[in-house]
Structure 1
């Protein structure tokens, strides 16, 4: 009886989250419903005046979910907005970038969905802004998916994550060690025991700083 009630409440909560993030479906990008819901949920658990840093935002699909979940605070997005990508991704980005500048598309999407006021845009490469964000409550790494690129993002930004804060990687696949997110999680994140694994939602890996 108790488990039935819990399942019912969970379904109600899931339905509420889906309704809150539904507009994300209209934004072009690469994010499943399960991943979108997880980003929203972890953002919603952060305390007031928190800072979320997203490395790689494309047209704002994931950014919207983070901003929609964040009660009070700021989502800092870092992206060159040039459709540049590592080998294997560059052609996809180029074919889907559209006719308008990516930065304009991003701003337009966030403005139309009512979250632009929560977002700070840093246009450039992630290495250009190292040390400029003193404290991070949630770090979402979804930029350069090469091993070296993902490794640099982790080493440059993870030290600024506050205790109890979260780190998330997109495109983690257990058997794909050639992918940056998978390699970094297996070789840098987990061996140090600084972060504990809290969930995997499709390819979104989430850990919490101890």
Structure 2
């Protein structure tokens, strides 16, 4: 049976990496990926600097699979200059744009997960048009406004195999606690009748795709 405890050698790497994944939610993400990883590859939409990829990559290592993580690395809307979550250290002055890719590479190399974590650099919408690999688990954590969350769901969710998992981050039922787009798309997925909710941890929501007889 797969060990569901987060490896001690990766805890420090996860804590050091830039990102917005609380420890309890990261642990839940790791444990969820350990459950579904034996069924096939894992895919993450929204890499940023690699914090969540460390949790998912650790599970990929435990279960003998891989993590594909998709991001253009120019930053989602909410981390651009002038927004609350902007980090000026991620600005590339040569182009006047965000660039989280070097930080991601450092985080994954420091964690020793380069064999398990495969970066796909490009927009989620573009990559999705050419994607054909069935997924055991899909983690949606890219842009958090209506358009990108909807496109991530519509472009990728149909690749989740029956019995696999569709996972959303930053789901806030109460608008006073966070943005509503991930919550609305999460509700949309539930309403299809193709998924059942299996776990909640903070703003993390895990849906399992129902296996048809």
Same fold (TM over 0.5): yes
Which TM class, normalised by the smaller chain length? 0.7 to 0.9
Q: CA deviation at 1:93?
A: 4.9
Corresponding residue for residue 145 of structure 1: 144
Corresponding residue for residue 95 of structure 1: 87
Aligned residue runs from structure 1 range 1-210, under 5 A: 16-17=5-6, 19=8, 21-23=10-12, 24-48=14-38, 50-70=40-60, 71-83=63-75, 85-86=76-77, 88-90=78-80, 91-98=83-90, 101-130=99-128, 131-176=130-175, 179-186=180-187, 188-210=188-210
Name the SS of the counterpart of 2:102 in structure 1. Answer: helix
Q: Which moved further from structure 2: 72-81 or 101-110? A: 101-110
Contact 1:77 1:119 in 2 (8 A): yes
Structure 2 unpaired stretches of 5+: 93-98
Structure 1 unpaired stretches of 5+: 1-12
CA root-mean-square deviation: 2.1
The normalised TM-score by structure 2 is 0.83
Q: Distance in 2 between matches of 1:39 and 1:105?
A: 21
The normalised TM-score by structure 1 is 0.84
Name the SS of the counterpart of 1:39 in structure 2. Answer: helix
Q: CA deviation at 1:94?
A: 3.5
Q: Distance in 2 between matches of 1:37 and 1:194?
A: 26
Q: Distance in 2 between matches of 1:209 and 1:175?
A: 25
Q: CA deviation at 1:28?
A: 1.1
Q: Distance in 2 between matches of 1:191 and 1:46?
A: 22
